[in-house]
Every structure is written in C-alpha cells, then in structure tokens.
Amino acid sequence: MGTPVIEIRGLHKAYGSLEVLKGVDLTAPRGHVVSLIGSSGSGKSTLLRCCNLLEDSQQGEIRFEGEAVRWKGEGLNRHPADRAQVTRIRTNLSMVFQQFNLWSHMTILQNVMEAPVTVLKRDPGEVEAKAREYLAKVGIADKADAWPAMLSGGQQQRAAIARALCMEPRALLFDEPTSALDPELEQEVIRVIKALAEEGRTMILVTHDMKLAADCSDHVIFLHQGLIEEEGPPERVFGAPQTARLRGFLSATA
Ligand code: ADP
Ligand code: MG
C-alpha cells in the first residue's frame, strides 16, 4: 500500500476554549476513500480543514506522503513553520466545498484553469487542454464558455470538481459536496464522485449521505464530539455498528 497520502495522529484542535478535536487519528492510503460521518458539530469539517492546513491545530502530527508538518510555537500559538511546505501540501489536497465557490466573473473554463496557471505557473495551453478533459469527465464539456450563473447547482458543483481535478492533486477533500443540491441534482454529483472512487483516486469525503459513504468508501470514521467513536470498513460500520451512539446516529439518518 505504501506511504499514506495523509496520516494524522492524536490531533487536537480548539477554537479558544472550545475543544473541537480531542485526539483524532486518520490515515488515507493512496487510492482509498475515507468517509467522515457524524452529527452536525462533531468536528468533520474541522478535521478536513486541518488535513490541508486551512486550520492550525494545537497538538498531534500531520504527515503528507510521509513528510511531517513542521510546527513552531505551542498550544494555541502553534502554527506551521514553513510556508513553502504549507503551499505544497495545500495545492496537493484540493478541496470541494458544499457551496461551490466558483468565481462569478469568470467562465467555467477560466474557473478551472485559474489556479493551475496562477498558483502552479503551468503553461496555459496545456492547462486548457487538461481543463477541457476534466470538464468532459464530469459531463459538462459543453459549458466551458458559460458563466457560473447560467449553470444548475449540480453543474456548478461538477465544475468545482473539475477545478479541483485540474490541480492534479494527490487527494481530493470533499466537504458535504451534495448537501446544497436538490435531490435530483444530487445524483449527478454522486455519479461523478463514485466514478472518481472507482478510478482509484485518494479521497476524504465528509457526507451526510450514508448510501454514498457505504457505496464508495474503503474506510468509514464516525466522529462524535471531536473523538472517533467507531471506525471500520463500510460493511461493518453500516451493517454491524458496535456502539449505541453509531446505531442511534444511523437510525436517525435513515
Ligand atoms: P461538522 O462539520 O461536523 O458539522 P464542524 O467541524 O464544522 O462540525 O464544527 C465543530 C465545532 O466547532 C462546532 O461546535 C462548531 O460550532 C465549532 N466551530 C467550527 N468552526 C469554528 C470557528 N471558525 N470558530 C469557532 N467555532 C467553530
Ligand atoms: Mg461540516
């Protein structure tokens, strides 16, 4: 299996006096999909944001492809010590948010090309070819020259996925990618996520959609109040939950 793309050990995160993560471990091996489930407020988004260093954390280790994040300071003053390392990790872990956050003044193609050209300094001609490939992959090749406002929510989210893919990241991080969508539009995004899982992309997926988590995950983590209450393969987490809390959560979301 080799070195995991992301490995987190004993992560603690607080916002002031509010402890949100209380010692969490997470391993995302290459080619695997890890899903995070749990009630609202359990810390799923925070953990995802800690993975790509969008959030600081007070204690614990984060490794990206075996490379340990270097820190300076302690406790609430702990920050990554090396900006170049942060940039390298962040550009390799592309995030897809619940709200698609497309730039409204750019066409879909320009949205997808923007970061590879400006952040990664890639050749615009090559990036355009890639961008069109990824737009075709998510099924909206014909929308390249459209403005975001002209697209449905499902099409906008697929454009946001194409934009994340165009960075050619080592892993994709999804935070509730379908929860802003109407049910009929949800399906077109779910199909894209499943196809990405099947082609062996490394992904961490925060979702409220238990069927999606069951269908595409290699490993499922159930967070409860900032701690891992239970984790395992989807067959066991969904088929034979061990803890009363997970059983309660699953019956409430069914
Ligand atoms: P989830 O994604 O599982 O719903 P979050 O990670 O968003 O949970 O939030 C976990 C807890 O942290 C919640 O109590 C939330 O209110 C709190 N929280 C999240 N972001 C912030 C922030 N920027 N400042 C203060 N508290 C926050
Ligand atoms: Mg969240």
- Segment 118-145, tens digit of pLDDT: 999 999 999 999 999 999 999 999 999 9
- Give me the pLDDT at residue 254, please: 75
Q: Is 207 in the pocket of ligand 1 (CB under 6 A)?
A: no
Is a pLDDT exceeding 90 seen at residue 168? yes
CB neighbours of residue 248 within 10 Å: 13
Phi then psi for 163, rounded to 5 degrees? -65, -45
Q: Is residue 37 part of a domain?
A: yes
Is a pLDDT exceeding 70 seen at residue 70? yes
Q: Is residue 113 part of a domain?
A: yes
Choice from 11, 17, 18 to test ligand 1 binding pocket (greatest atom count within 8 A of CB): 18
Residue 1 — very low, low, confident or very high, per pLDDT cuts 50/70/90? low
Q: What percent of the chain has pLDDT over 70?
A: 100
- Closest ligand to Cα 42: 1
Choice from 11, 44, 46 to test ligand 1 binding pocket (greatest atom count within 8 A of CB): 46
Q: Is residue 1 part of a domain?
A: no
Ligand 1 atom nearest the C-alpha of 176 is: 2
Q: Whose CA is nearest to atom 11 of ligand 1?
A: 41
Alpha helices (H) in the chain, listed in sequence order: 44-51, 83-92, 108-118, 124-137, 153-166, 183-198, 210-216, 234-239, 244-253
Q: Is residue 137 part of a domain?
A: yes
Indicate the pTM of the whole model: 0.96
How many folded domains does the chain comprise?
A: 1
Q: What is the CATH number of the domain that holds 154?
A: 3.40.50.300
Q: Is 163 in the pocket of ligand 1 (CB under 6 A)?
A: no
Q: Is 38 in the pocket of ligand 1 (CB under 6 A)?
A: yes
Residue 155 — very low, low, confident or very high, per pLDDT cuts 50/70/90? very high
Q: Is beta strand 219-224 parallel, antiparallel or unpaired with respect to 227-232? A: antiparallel
Q: Is residue 195 part of a domain?
A: yes
Answer yes or no: are the C-beta atoms of 80 and 53 closer than 8 Å.
yes
Q: Is residue 122 part of a domain?
A: yes
Answer yes or no: are the C-beta atoms of 214 and 238 closer than 8 Å.
yes
Q: Is residue 194 part of a domain?
A: yes
Ligand 1 atom nearest the C-alpha of 223 is: 3
Q: Is 15 in the pocket of ligand 1 (CB under 6 A)?
A: yes
Q: Which of 159, 146, 210, 218 is nearest to 185 (CA)?
A: 159
Instruction: Say yes or no: ipTM exceeds 0.85.
Output: yes
Q: Is 226 in the pocket of ligand 1 (CB under 6 A)?
A: no
Calculate mean pLDDT across residues 148-152: 96
Structural domain boundaries enclosing 155: 6-253
Q: Is 18 in the pocket of ligand 1 (CB under 6 A)?
A: yes
Choice from 24, 45, 56 to test ligand 1 binding pocket (greatest atom count within 8 A of CB): 45
Q: Is residue 75 part of a domain?
A: yes
Average pLDDT, the chain: 96
Q: Whose CA is nearest to atom 13 of ligand 1?
A: 41
Is a pLDDT exceeding 80 seen at residue 56? yes
- Closest ligand to Cα 99: 2
